[in-house]
């Protein structure tokens, strides 16, 4: 028996087709969409304008929430983190002792409610400073499971999220088909209704996928996880840096800007004594002057078992000063949710017990981005 397509993987046309195939009137699809996206209802039994028989059929054959919330944590700054466990179906994770899991984070700030979503279970990139890739990649999330994260976080805030950042677990552009389908749903008026400018895709830098994203109909914001101002240091910190030089990635980013008119955000994680010295800042300034961009400086957030240290406030502001002296728009990102390990670089599969390993059949960056 084939696995049923979950609600969040549908668009209105495919859901109307599903309804027709199951003997329901086509307009039932619009009713279900309104209940879930418009009213935040995920239990078919509460969809009062549907007949009892139709509600029972939907409950049986149309999964709405696939994930199981196994833990919720609230930080002192109001940040909330969910640990979601997913069914094994649709993944290549048959060898796991426990269900595949991902973490997703709600970051409130005044009227803004930002969902930081994961795109993969684990991460194939293996950045030396990041918790998400410590056990490698266990599989891609479907578009529906990505959308479900944002929907769930919206319910925590009493409505919808206002912004989405693909900065959780995984390399988004290595799961290109799913993240672009998810973005379409997030942006759609019938879906989450989030404007393109409020959706940010963060990538370690896959030039062909960046150029492909430039032609995507929803002109999202692109953030490049640079983290080093030269190729030698970047390859030490980011294993996938061997697939593309900084120059090659910046060329793709320039093409993205030309196609979309969207300024690129350069994300730069400051590691004490590793990449936070004044000569690193000068090298980063040289890079920034070649591109229409702004820079987000991120203080390293400690991960147990990793050897890096958080930079001092003095060093961070000195680094920023070098960049601003070159008239480069530079901000220091606030670290949110550190006390619940929800800050940048701290997300991981915390429900898992096991040893570090990679799933069989993991794809190269070039193969993965073509999914």
Question: Which residue matches tokens 């803004």?
Answer: 112
DSSP assigned state of 218: S
SS3 content of the chain, % helix, strand, coil (to 5): 35, 20, 45
Instruction: Identify the active-site residue in 19, 123, 253, 344.
Output: 344
Closest by CA to 295, choosing from 270, 328, 272, 326, is: 328
Whether residue 19 lies in the annotated active site: no
Closest by CA to 19, choosing from 59, 65, 56, 62, is: 62
d(CA 370, CA 212): 10
Q: Is 43 exposed, middle or buried (0-12, 13-18, 19+ CB in 10 A)?
A: exposed
d(CA 221, CA 235): 25
d(CA 114, CA 180): 18
127 DSSP β-pair partners: none
Contact assessment for residue 19 and residue 29, using Cβ atoms and an 8 Å cutoff: yes
30, 86, 106, 270, 337 from 74: Cα distances, Å: 35, 21, 10, 26, 8
Whether residue 127 lies in the annotated active site: no
Rg (CA), the chain: 21
d(CA 264, CA 169): 21
Instruction: Identify the active-site residue in 103, 135, 171, 267.
Output: 103
* Interior/surface letters 84-100, b for 16+ CB within 10 angstroms, e for the rest: bbbbeebbbbeebeebb
d(CA 32, CA 15): 9
Contact assessment for residue 293 and residue 263, using Cβ atoms and an 8 Å cutoff: yes
Q: Which residues are tagged catalytic?
A: 103, 344
């Amino acid at each position: 028996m084939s696995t049923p397509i979950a609600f969040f993987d549908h668009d209105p046309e495919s859901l109307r087709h599903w309804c027709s195939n199951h003997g329901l009137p086509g307009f039932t699809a619009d009713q279900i969409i309104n209940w879930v996206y418009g009213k935040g209802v995920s239990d078919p039994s509460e969809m009062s304008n549907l007949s009892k028989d139709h509600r029972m059929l939907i409950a049986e054959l149309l999964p709405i929430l696939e994930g199981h919330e196994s833990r919720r944590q609230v930080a002192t700054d109001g940040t909330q983190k969910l640990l979601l466990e997913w069914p094994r179906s649709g993944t290549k994770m048959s060898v796991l002792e426990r269900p595949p899991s991902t973490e997703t984070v709600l970051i409130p700030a005044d009227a803004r409610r930002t969902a930081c979503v994961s795109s993969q279970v684990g991460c194939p990139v293996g950045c030396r400073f990041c918790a998400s890739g410590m056990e490698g990649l266990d599989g891609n999330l479907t578009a529906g499971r990505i959308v479900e994260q944002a929907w769930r976080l919206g319910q925590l805030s009493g409505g919808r999220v206002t912004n989405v950042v693909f900065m959780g677990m995984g390399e988004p552009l290595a799961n290109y088909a799913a993240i672009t389908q998810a973005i379409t749903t997030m942006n759609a008026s019938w879906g989450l209704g989030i404007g393109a400018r409020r959706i940010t895709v963060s990538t370690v830098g896959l030039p062909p996928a960046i150029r492909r994203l430039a032609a995507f109909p929803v002109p999202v914001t692109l953030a490049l996880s640079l983290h080093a101002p030269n190729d030698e240091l970047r390859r030490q910190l980011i294993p996938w840096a061997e697939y593309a030089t900084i120059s090659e990635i910046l060329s793709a980013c320039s093409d993205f800007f030309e196609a979309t008119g969207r300024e690129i955000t350069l994300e730069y994680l400051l590691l004490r004594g590793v990449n936070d010295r004044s000569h690193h800042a000068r090298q980063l300034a040289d890079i920034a002057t070649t591109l229409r961009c702004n820079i987000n400086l991120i203080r390293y957030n400690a991960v147990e078992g990793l050897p890096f240290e958080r930079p001092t406030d003095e060093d961070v502001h000195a680094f920023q000063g070098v960049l601003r002296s070159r008239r480069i728009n530079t901000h220091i990102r606030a670290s949110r949710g550190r006390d619940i390990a929800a800050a940048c670089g701290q997300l991981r599969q915390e429900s898992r017990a096991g040893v570090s390993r990679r799933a069989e059949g993991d794809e190269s960056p070039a193969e993965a981005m073509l999914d």
